[in-house]
Each structure stands twice: as C-alpha cells, then as structure tokens.
Amino acid sequence: MLKSMSMLRNQWRKYALISTALFVLWAGLGSGGAAGAKGRDELHNPLPSPAHSLEPVSGRTAAVVIDDFGNNMAGTEEMLGLPIPLTVAVMPFLPSTKQDAERAHQRGHEVIVHMPMEPISGKASWLGPGAILTSLSDEEIVRRVNAAIDEVPHAVGMNNHMGSKATADRRVMRLVLKVCKERGLYFLDSKTNYRSVVSEVGKEIGIPIVQNHLFLDDVYKESHIVKQCRLLEDHLAQHDSCVTIGHVGRPGLKTALVLRQYVPRISKKAAFVHISYLVKKQQLQELESKTNQKK
C-alpha cells in the first residue's frame, strides 16, 4: 500500500510538472493566426500566471471549465487563446466537435465530453444530438454514452450539459458513471440541480467526481461576470480550490474578456489547473486517509 501511495504521489507530481511544462511550451510558442499574435504579445507582456511557475505560493488551485464547444460558438477562439490551462467541454455529434477538441488539445487545454442530459424544464432543441433522457432503456443509455466518448478526441472526463433531471436520477447516473469508469474518465458534476445524486452514486461505483462551485456567466451581462470573478476570488480566500464554469456561445466573448482581465489577480491567489489535477489530488488524499486508518 505504501509503495503504491508513493508511486501515485510521484505520478501526480510528474503529471503536474509535465502538464505545466507543456502549457508553458504552448504559451511560449503560440500557434498560428490570431492566437499566435496573442501568444507573442504575452511574451512581451507576460501575465503572472502560475501556469508559468511550477508551484503556486499558496498551494491553492483554480480550475476554469468552459462548456458548450463543438458548434462553432462565439468566443471559441478567444477562450482557447486565454493564457491559462482550461478544461474544455466539447459537445458530441456537432459540426466543430472534432475540430474544437483537437485545437484545445494542441493548445495544452484538457478536453472533456460535454454530455447533453435531460433538464427538468427547457426545450429539447437546446439539448443537442445523442442526449441522455430518463425515458431511455439501460442499453440505449450505455450506447449513447460510449458513442459520445468515441466522438470527442482526447477526452479524459465528462460533465453534464443541462441535466437537472438526469443527474437526479439514480438509475441513469449509475449507467453513465459506470461507462465513464470503464473508459477511465472522471465526471465533473456541473450542479444544475442541488438534488444531484452524482457524488453519492460516484462514491458507490468508485469513480472520481469533482463538483462545480460557481457559474461565471449564468447571466449574460459583463457586470455579472465581473461579480462572479470576485466571488471566485472570495472563494479562494477561504478554500483550497475552486472549480468554475463559463461558456462559449451567447456570453462567450464577454466571459473570455473578463477572464483575461482577472487572470493576473486570481493567479496571485491560486494556480490555474486542469480538472484532472484535482482528481489526482483527491485520489492521493483518499489513499492517504485509508493508509492512516490502517495504522
């Protein structure tokens, strides 16, 4: 047990160093077109992002997730060009699904499947193709989750698009999370319903679950997004980490702009990390507490 714990710890450290180094490399090189120009600007005007330093001063972490990629949404380029490691949630079966996932991956961001799941209310057309509905059979749910994972290249996790009804349904979430476990994916609960059973079922099945703490742009106004960034700072003053979700699409350009302004301030308080960093940390902590219980 001790041996596997130190192996896991080493793997986790190695992972943190490699992911940071890769992101620094990407940020330094820039990439073609408009993003390349931004990359070069950053070299002249480097933001004090902890993505550029290996250890955050405080040990605190902030994970920024951006949802709704895959449909050539507004703000796609602006988000992918942000000077921080993002977790990019891409919807399956849409016109730019593969392209957005590939571009995000090339730029050092983490890719996850943004799985359309049934809401309590809202139009079915907002869901997108291949959605998980509570009326589906077990077999069809398993088939759709597998098909969505196959559709999004480089995916290492999944989160829910909408899903206030599906994430509160035990049968549905058992099936979804079992497939994620089989395929080696973590699940990020976007928390569109406070009655979500994701954490509970995740524990039962033994799959890492991370939860969203804060939506950045649930109201599409710049003043609201600024307010949410301040809440993110407040959260980090009191907690070790904060997971926050923004969107491309209607608020995309505004959210990218406000995030870019807030990166220097937030990076004084915390290191920006991918969700998988939090997953690995969580696994290590669980293993350590199990080992301590045995002593």
* Residues 235 and 214 sit within 8 Å (Cβ to Cβ): yes
Judged by CB under 5 A, the stretch of 67-75, 96-104, 266-274, 276-284 that binds Zn ion is 67-75
Footprint on residues 81-140 left by Zn ion (CB under 5 A) = none
Q: Shortest approach of Zn ion to residue 46 CB, angstroms?
A: 32
Considering the rule CB under 5 A, would residue 217 count as an interface residue with Zn ion?
no
Helices in 127-274 by DSSP H: which ranges?
A: 138-151, 170-182, 198-205, 222-238, 252-267
Q: Shortest approach of Zn ion to residue 245 CB, angstroms?
A: 8
Total of residues contacting Zn ion (CB under 5 A): 3
C-alpha to C-alpha distance for 115 and 148, rounded to whole angstroms: 7
Instruction: Closer to Zn ion by CB, 83 or 251: give it.
Output: 251
Amino acid of residue 166: A
Q: Where are the beta strands (DSSP E) in 86-147?
A: 86-90, 110-117
Can you tell me which of 16, 65, 68, 88 binds Zn ion, judged by CB under 5 A? 68
x/- site string to Zn ion, residues 161 to 180, per CB under 5 A?
x-------------------
Chain-centre distance of CA 109, in angstroms?
9
Can you tell me which of 20, 35, 64, 67 binds Zn ion, judged by CB under 5 A? 67
C-alpha to C-alpha distance for 261 and 1, rounded to whole angstroms: 45
x/- site string to Zn ion, residues 145 to 164, per CB under 5 A?
----------------x---
The residue whose Cβ lies closest to Zn ion is 161
Q: Specify the 3-state DSSP secondary structure of 93.
A: coil
Tokens linked to 154:
């480089």
C-alpha distances in Å from residue 37, one per residue of 26, 82, 158, 275: 13, 12, 32, 28
Q: Shortest approach of Zn ion to residue 126 CB, angstroms?
A: 9
Q: Shortest approach of Zn ion to residue 286 CB, angstroms?
A: 29
Q: Shortest approach of Zn ion to residue 228 CB, angstroms?
A: 16
Instruction: Closer to Zn ion by CB, 236 or 259: give it.
Output: 259
Q: Shortest approach of Zn ion to residue 56 CB, angstroms?
A: 29
Q: Specify the 3-state DSSP secondary structure of 75.
A: coil
Amino acid of residue 255: T
Q: Shortest approach of Zn ion to residue 145 CB, angstroms?
A: 16
C-alpha to C-alpha distance for 216 and 228, rounded to whole angstroms: 5
Instruction: Closer to Zn ion by CB, 73 or 271: give it.
Output: 73
Neighbours of 105 (CB within 10 A): 17
Q: Which residues bind Zn ion (CB under 5 A)?
A: 67-68, 161
